[in-house]
Structures are given as structure tokens and as C-alpha cells.
Structure 1
């Protein structure tokens, strides 16, 4: 049964029409993410959720506008997984465009915007070179988790990475032990420990096929 379901899934680039559903999948997957809880600086649940939706929406729109790697995993016509990859060919961290800063400020507040940029800056500073991308989001729909689609999506990210002539690999910040196991089994290695805000985790790195 699982094998049949896996055979039916396909990975393609997201279209503009997919972004709303993609944002919903990411929101549900990252609702309890330690970094986002810390970065959004909010004790009120409703306000936190509003800020989280806004931050995810603005980041997705920016990645789309900058033609970054937005990959969707589909079962038939149904979007069940999303991976968002940002390359250093566009400004990240403290170099973020002002229009992104203003939109994020309105959606999430200035302290949260600063925390987001600081996270990216710390990751970029730790990567081996500016030819490594950052995996910003990776998420599977709540109803489809635990079925192997997460591994399929990570494999798709690595295949995408290997096809990019200007990329040497991709890094991801991981604070959940289960996620650490997932990335380790798919070829990621621990680069170093990072403390981002009050959250401690690992920066994990996949070195592209040409560097393997």
C-alpha cells in the first residue's frame, strides 16, 4: 500500500496558484518550531499564529519572486509536501532587501524580522562558501506524515541541488532529534552546533554530488 502511494507521488516546481496551500502546509508543520516560537516574541496564541502565518506568507512570496527553489510533492493533483530552498545568489540575512524587511515588519514585527535575519546570517557565516544554499522550509501535510514522503522530499531537494551548476550543496538548521535522523540518513553531515536566539541545534550540510 505504501509502495503504491509512493509510486503515485511526483515532485514539481510550485506555481503561483500553489502558494496558498503551500503556506498552509508549512504553517501546520512549523507551528511548534522552537526557533519561530522564540523569534516571534509572543505569549498570546492568536497573535503568535497571526504573525506566523504572515511571516510564512511573506517569505514564500519573496522566494517565488526571486525564482528560488520552491518544490512541491504531489499525490495526483493534491499538494502534500513543500520544500523551499534559498541560494546565496539573492540577498539573505543582514543583506535582505528593504521591501522584504518592511513586509515582514508589518506581518511579524521588527524584533521578529531581526531574529529571522540573524538566523540566516549565522547560517551563512558557518557555511563553507557562498555556493551553498539554505533549506528554509521542508514540510509534509499533517495527514500524510509518517508515510515516507519526508524522505522522498529530501531526496528531491538533493537531486535538485545536484542539478544546479553553481551550487556545492545545501545546509539546514535542525533542532529536532527526529529531523536530525532524517537528514542524516539522506546524506547530511553535522557541520557544527549553533545557538540561534535561545534555541540550540545543529547546522547540517549536504555536499553536492560533485563534492562527494
Structure 2
């Protein structure tokens, strides 16, 4: 996710009215990701439909729980999004039997099991309950390389830092292209998970007040 431009997007808190745009953007952002390629069997017919279904169910559940989402808009077009699970309201989507059933029906039992195992392994790396977690985030491929990824993360950090009970932000990636980018944004790696042949890296970014307390 190299960032070279200085373009500025409008930052908005999103609600379920943006569900369709959010699903479309996140599908474009994740369909070529190594982690999703393994979880949903890119080598088998129907891969794109399985990715679409997974993104649809995750976005649907997120907005149904009225959890926060930050979006970047350029000329009223959604070009970047981060779904946020706050510490006080971080309900585990995978614990919903209705969600699991919809996943099995739309992606198959094997892919659903793979996703649940991946989700549990990443969750085991999260440093306690007092953190914000980003289950999905992305910049539309047409707008990558233009500084928007940095803007999106900065907006997330600013929003999460208002919560004095949060230690920081956690995200994960199995794409080696993004690892150095996250480190430049102040993330440190706190765990690594094997997702089939993919090495999933779990990152943590401390909130400013946490850094201040540690250095005071």
C-alpha cells in the first residue's frame, strides 16, 4: 500500500445506509488478498461469490450491531472504509449461530470452518479487552497509492484515541505488501498466525494517552 500523493478525502462516520457501497468496496479490497484466497479456496469455482457473501455477512452484522465505521469519500464516492469494534461493544460476530448458518449456506462448511479458525487464532493475539479492533478495512484499488490509506488510519487513530479506556488499535494482514506500511504508521507486530500457507501478521498501535502515560 505505497502512499505517494497528498490528496485529501472527506472523513465520515458511516451507518447502514452505506452498506451497499461498503460491501462493494471491501469486496474489491479483499478478493485478491492472500488470506481470503486460502480461506475461500480461490482455486475452486465460485471463489468470487464466496468472498462477496463473506463480506456481505460481515458488513451486515457490523451495522446491525450499530458498530462504528469510518469512511473516506471523494466527490461523494466511498473510496476507503474501516469497520471498528470498540472495547465496550466488541461482540464476536462468529458467536452468532444465525451468522454461522448464513456463512455455511453461502460459502460452504469447509470455508466457514477455515474462517472461524483464522478468526480465533487472530483473536488469541489481541492484548486484552481494552483495545479497538479493525475486522475489515480497505482502500478501493483505483485509489491506492495516493495517500488515502494513511489518511484512513489517521482518522481511525484520532477517533479511537477519544476513548480513554482504550489502549489502542489492533489489525491483521497476510499481505506482505502492507507490512512495512503499517509499521510506518506506528504499528508494532504482536503476533503471527499460520493461515494455511499464509503468514498472518497481527499489529498493535497504542493510543496517544497510553504512550503519554508510559513516558510520563
Structure 2 length normalisation: TM-score? 0.87
Which residue of structure 2 lines up, in the alignment, with residue 111 of structure 1? 110
Secondary structure of 2:146's partner?
coil
Answer with 54-63 or 34-43: which moved more: 34-43
Aligned equivalents of 1:173 and 1:70: distance in 2? 17
Aligned equivalents of 1:111 and 1:201: distance in 2? 19
Which residue of structure 2 lines up, in the alignment, with residue 49 of structure 1? 48
Secondary structure of 1:107's partner?
helix
Higher relative contact order (CA 8 A, sep 6+): 2
Which residue of structure 2 lines up, in the alignment, with residue 163 of structure 1? 162
Secondary structure of 1:86's partner?
coil
Which residue of structure 2 lines up, in the alignment, with residue 102 of structure 1? 101
Aligned equivalents of 1:108 and 1:162: distance in 2? 36
Cα distance, 1:66 vs structure 2: 1.3
Which residue of structure 2 lines up, in the alignment, with residue 72 of structure 1? 71
User: Displaced runs of 4+ in structure 1, greater than 4 A?
Assistant: none
Answer with 196-205 or 97-106: which moved more: 196-205
Which residue of structure 1 lines up, in the alignment, with residue 25 of structure 2? 25
Secondary structure of 1:136's partner?
coil
1:121-159 deviation line (CA, Å, top 9, x unaligned): 112211210122321222112221111001100111111
Question: Across the two proteins, how many residue pairs are aligned to each other?
Answer: 206
Cα distance, 1:164 vs structure 2: 2.5
- Aligned partners of 1:29 and 1:139 also within 8 Å: yes
Which residue of structure 2 lines up, in the alignment, with residue 36 of structure 1? 36
**For the structure 1 residues 197 and 68, does the alpha-carbon distance in structure 2 shift closer, same or farther, using more than 3 Å as the test?**
farther
Gaps of 5+ in 1: none
Structure with a larger share of its residues in strand: 1
Q: Give the alignment of 1:1-212 within 5 angstroms.
A: 2-3=5-6, 5-6=7-8, 9-45=9-45, 47-87=46-86, 89-92=89-92, 96-212=95-211
Taking only aligned residues, the RMSD between alpha carbons, in angstroms, comes to: 1.8
- Aligned partners of 1:92 and 1:121 also within 8 Å: no
Aligned equivalents of 1:69 and 1:15: distance in 2? 8
- Aligned partners of 1:92 and 1:120 also within 8 Å: no
Gaps of 5+ in 2: 212-216
Which residue of structure 1 lines up, in the alignment, with residue 214 of structure 2? none
Aligned equivalents of 2:201 and 2:142: distance in 1? 28
Secondary structure of 1:172's partner?
strand
Secondary structure of 2:161's partner?
helix
